[in-house]
Amino acid sequence: MKTHYQAYLELPAPRAQVADLLNNPTLWFDLPGGWEVSGTFWRHGEDLYRVDVRANGTEESLHWEASPATGQGSRASLSVTLYDAIISTHLELKIEVDSPGLAWPWRQWQISNAIRKRVEICRESLETVLRRQQTSVSVPMMATAGAGAIEDEDADDEPLLFASNATPAQAALIAKLRERYPQTVAHFLAMGAIDHLERVSRLEVGWGQIMRDAYDPQVHQVIAAGAQPAELGGVAFGEGSSIPKTAHFDLIYAGGGLGLLHAAVMAMCYGRRVMVFDRSEVGCAHREWNISRAELALLVETGVVSWDELDAVVMREYRDGLVRFHSWSHSDVPSTDLWLPEVLNVALDAGALLRLMRRKLEQAGGTILNGRIFRTVRAHTDSAQGVEVELLGPDGAAERYHARLLLDGMGSTSPLALLRHAGRPFAGVCPTVGTVARGFVQGDGPQEYDPTLGDILVSICDSQDGEQMMWEGFPGRGDELTVYFFYYSAIHRNSSREYSMFDLFEQYFTLLPTYKRAGPDFHHVKPVYGYIPARHSLRPVEAPLLRGVLPVGDSAAQQSPLTFCGFGSHVRNLSRTTGLLDYALRHNLLDPQQLAPINAFQSNVSLNWIFSRFMEPWNHADDVNRLQNIFMRVLHDMGVAKATRFFQDRMRWIDYHPMLLGMLWYNPGILLAAWKVLGVKGITQWMGDYVRFSQSAAIAALARVAGQSGEQALVSSAERFAPALGLRLRARYAEWRAMGWM
């Protein structure tokens, strides 16, 4: 009876190291398997085996044959083919066991199951050995660096050479990092981006706190009715800055990123008195954004900016966008490219856009404060009395300001978001690093730079270091290419994962040559990075809002957990969130439950959580690529319009079912994978999402039948007699519009 077993696995080390380990005969006796050497034989339990080891000499494939010394009993053969994934190695494993007796399916299943368990145990042991070997090597990745990597010949002098203008704190950080992250430090120094090393380090610390469930309960306090600010101690309003002590704002924005766009609309289009502060500079971007023209049109529709003004901000618009997943040569699922001409095909200069918004805000009388760190917000129980916001000024002195509401735009590590979600604000994360770089080889090959083409979502290898690494690349000004390198991960409670940005940067610099080829003048211009958070929202508001505080941007994290387009989601929902906020201010609807409908939640986006779960390998190194290639085929069959809607978070109810049925048709095994990946909890969540999505679609269909006159009548009478209900109704219509359903 012959039993065949096949697996495709990953080991976390370069191929030569894995081959060395597998070629080492003593290894087998260390692996959990119960083998012992007995003279020239191998003993397993009572049985003696003769083992014949063959390697083809190129470190690409290895073969073992075990036959019983007596000539009677089971024989087994094991072949391993090694595939180079640069920072790791993939193993194609084929095992054949020839045992005496009849080929009963049940018996074969038992043998196959036993092999599967043994293989998994051996894989874990090999992984442990390889990781141990790596930690004992001081400079692990330099040897594998390809084109574009900086030579480290004078490593000892190099910090002095590049970092002569570094502060003592920066020099200490460089010294601490350079041994473990030699390429990252070298490239950052060459880019003149020492300050970014500090920022990345700060970001890692912030994220580390999130992973430890840490939060500061003092950042938000509630003031009982009748208490005066003076009773709370500290300084008076506006003190410590040039703002008059009488200054009183409608809205204070903490964080000058996406919050600045919101603030500019509130000031310019709704005449609100607005202040924006940031711990560094208001409107300073550390990344580039891409978006589509249709989504940009929604920004123009708010009235805050014209197309002419945006032209100066658009770096490039390209003819097509590509979604492609790797398919290895022996895969049973071929790669299916998806070409989407209207998805993320406009590259923006994020810094220029934010500077433009800053000018707009100032022209509309808004106040901008740089170098202010948020300390605490005190909200009155009577929401009509507003909030007091305490900041730490540039000189270290406390400053206090008053407003009707604080908008939390402090991003993914916002202290207020951490408090609101008791230290666990997100369900998933997409750690992202990359650079803006110039001088790639131009051409239309997959590894070449084509200025008319954007890579929306591309994988070029199976899992690496346990993650399915993804690439995004979009051309900017001149021959610049912005390259992002990232992976998806669900955040599990009690997990010890670190999500190190520096580890990811080191992998990025090692693997970049496998994505695009560097030309002779290649160089990195600036680093781009961040943790893009994801929340799996079943409801518009997962946790009650903090009194007096409304989150915007990444601190609200309501973008798609698949595309992670936080900027796109913010823009698409900007007229919705600003219009609803103005309504709430006009009607004094500032209690947390009244403000709750003001958000960028989309019931069709919450379904993307399930899609994003299949972007993490669950069993084999090629899990993600195999499944996504099937999904790409389904989307391809459905046509560009529906695929575009899916990637722009405008999926309709009728789009969803062909996707599910298509997946089942091409791959019935998806049910088993879904069970493994989602478990009972995940499947229950998905059912909740689906019910909400269907409810929303049904009510939207009725609303479409009622038409604009029905909407007008409903919304205006609610506004007159029950303004809070009016806000909820408006919010529903606005959500449907954002999803393209109205």
Shortest distance, CB of residue 412 to ligand FAD, whole angstroms? 6
Shortest distance, CB of residue 532 to ligand FAD, whole angstroms? 5
| From 78, 377, 565, 729, residue interacting with ligand FAD (rule: CB under 6 A) | 565
Q: Are 445 and 451 in contact (CB under 8 A)?
A: no
Our finding on whether 256 is near ligand FAD (CB under 6 A) is yes
Our finding on whether 287 is near ligand FAD (CB under 6 A) is yes
Which among 15-23, 26-34, 248-256, 719-727 is the span making contact with ligand FAD, rule CB under 6 A?
A: 248-256
Nearer to ligand FAD, 327 or 432 (CB): 432
Our finding on whether 316 is near ligand FAD (CB under 6 A) is no
Nearer to ligand FAD, 469 or 532 (CB): 532
| From 240, 530, 548, 726, residue interacting with ligand FAD (rule: CB under 6 A) | 530
| From 38, 70, 128, 280, residue interacting with ligand FAD (rule: CB under 6 A) | 280
Shortest distance, CB of residue 364 to ligand FAD, whole angstroms? 19
Please report which helix (H) or strand (E) contains residue 23, including its range.
Answer: none
Main-chain dihedrals φ then ψ at residue 488, nearest 5 degrees: -100, 145
Shortest distance, CB of residue 113 to ligand FAD, whole angstroms? 43
Nearest 5°: the CA angle 260, 261, 264 is 85
Our finding on whether 595 is near ligand FAD (CB under 6 A) is no
Chain position whose Cβ is nearest to ligand FAD: 566
Shortest distance, CB of residue 369 to ligand FAD, whole angstroms? 10
| From 140, 240, 255, 428, residue interacting with ligand FAD (rule: CB under 6 A) | 255
Q: Is 214 helix (H, G, I), strand (E, B) or coil?
A: coil
Please report which helix (H) or strand (E) contains residue 431, including its range.
Answer: strand 428-440
Query: Residues 619-648: x/- map of binding to ligand FAD (CB under 6 A)?
Result: ------------------------------
Listed in sequence order, the residues at least 6 apart from 374 whose beta carbon sits closer than 8 Å to its beta carbon are: 219, 254, 255, 277, 279, 389, 391, 410, 415, 416
Q: Are 628 and 470 in contact (CB under 8 A)?
A: no
Shortest distance, CB of residue 409 to ligand FAD, whole angstroms? 5
In this structure, the chain runs to a length of 742
| From 92, 158, 250, 278, residue interacting with ligand FAD (rule: CB under 6 A) | 278
As a whole number of angstroms, the distance between CA 48 and CA 58 comes to: 30
| From 532, 545, 610, 731, residue interacting with ligand FAD (rule: CB under 6 A) | 532
Listed in sequence order, the residues at least 6 apart from 33 whose beta carbon sits closer than 8 Å to its beta carbon are: 44, 118, 121, 122
Shortest distance, CB of residue 312 to ligand FAD, whole angstroms? 19
How many helices and strands (H and E) does the chain possess?
Answer: 23, 26
Our finding on whether 148 is near ligand FAD (CB under 6 A) is no
Our finding on whether 262 is near ligand FAD (CB under 6 A) is no
Nearer to ligand FAD, 349 or 554 (CB): 554
| From 567, 583, 693, 741, residue interacting with ligand FAD (rule: CB under 6 A) | 567
Our finding on whether 290 is near ligand FAD (CB under 6 A) is yes
As a whole number of angstroms, the distance between CA 425 and CA 533 comes to: 9
Our finding on whether 252 is near ligand FAD (CB under 6 A) is no
Q: Find the binding residues for ligand FAD in span 425-484 (CB under 6 A).
A: 432, 484
Nearest 5°: the CA angle 92, 93, 98 is 150
Our finding on whether 253 is near ligand FAD (CB under 6 A) is no
Shortest distance, CB of residue 347 to ligand FAD, whole angstroms? 8
As a whole number of angstroms, the distance between CA 641 and CA 341 comes to: 10
Nearer to ligand FAD, 42 or 289 (CB): 289
Main-chain dihedrals φ then ψ at residue 64, nearest 5 degrees: -125, 140
Whose CA is closest to 483, among 437, 447, 445? 437
As a whole number of angstroms, the distance between CA 479 and CA 521 comes to: 11
Our finding on whether 188 is near ligand FAD (CB under 6 A) is no
What does DSSP say about strands 398-408 and 387-392: parallel, antiparallel, or unpaired?
antiparallel
Q: Find the binding residues for ligand FAD in span 350-389 (CB under 6 A).
A: 373-374
Shortest distance, CB of residue 639 to ligand FAD, whole angstroms? 24
As a whole number of angstroms, the distance between CA 88 and CA 109 comes to: 31
For residue 513, give the amino acid letter.
P
Nearest 5°: the CA angle 469, 474, 478 is 140
Query: Residues 488-527: x/- map of binding to ligand FAD (CB under 6 A)?
Result: ----------------------------------------
Please return the burial class of 713, using the count of CB atoms within 10 Å of its CB with bins 0-12, 13-18 and 19+.
exposed
- According to DSSP, the residues that pair with 455 across neighbouring strands are 322, 473
As a whole number of angstroms, the distance between CA 90 and CA 622 comes to: 9
Our finding on whether 528 is near ligand FAD (CB under 6 A) is yes
Shortest distance, CB of residue 280 to ligand FAD, whole angstroms? 5
As a whole number of angstroms, the distance between CA 77 and CA 67 comes to: 9
Which among 10-18, 207-215, 288-296, 496-504 is the span making contact with ligand FAD, rule CB under 6 A?
A: 288-296
Shortest distance, CB of residue 41 to ligand FAD, whole angstroms? 57
What does DSSP say about strands 387-392 and 518-534: parallel, antiparallel, or unpaired?
unpaired
Q: Find the binding residues for ligand FAD in span 401-420 (CB under 6 A).
A: 409-412
| From 140, 259, 527, 561, residue interacting with ligand FAD (rule: CB under 6 A) | 259
Nearer to ligand FAD, 252 or 700 (CB): 252
**Torsion angle of the four alpha carbons 95, 100, 102, 107, in this order, in degrees rounded to the nearest 10:** -50
Which among 97-105, 289-297, 625-633, 717-725 is the span making contact with ligand FAD, rule CB under 6 A?
A: 289-297
Q: How many CB atoms lie within 10 A of CB 47?
A: 15
Our finding on whether 573 is near ligand FAD (CB under 6 A) is no
Rounded to the nearest 5 percent, the helix, strand and coil shares of the chain are 40, 25, 35
Shortest distance, CB of residue 718 to ligand FAD, whole angstroms? 31
Nearer to ligand FAD, 372 or 692 (CB): 372
Our finding on whether 279 is near ligand FAD (CB under 6 A) is yes
Nearest 5°: the CA angle 184, 370, 435 is 20
DSSP label of 542: S
Q: Which regions of 184-304 does DSSP assign to beta strands (E)? A: 220-223, 248-254, 274-277, 289-291
Q: Is 288 helix (H, G, I), strand (E, B) or coil?
A: coil
Size of the site for ligand FAD (CB under 6 A): 31
Main-chain dihedrals φ then ψ at residue 695, nearest 5 degrees: -60, -50
Nearer to ligand FAD, 508 or 686 (CB): 508
| From 553, 579, 617, 662, residue interacting with ligand FAD (rule: CB under 6 A) | 553
Residue 390: both structure tokens together: 């305490």
Footprint of ligand FAD (CB under 6 A): 254-259, 278-280, 287, 289-291, 373-374, 409-412, 432, 484, 528-530, 532, 553-554, 565-568
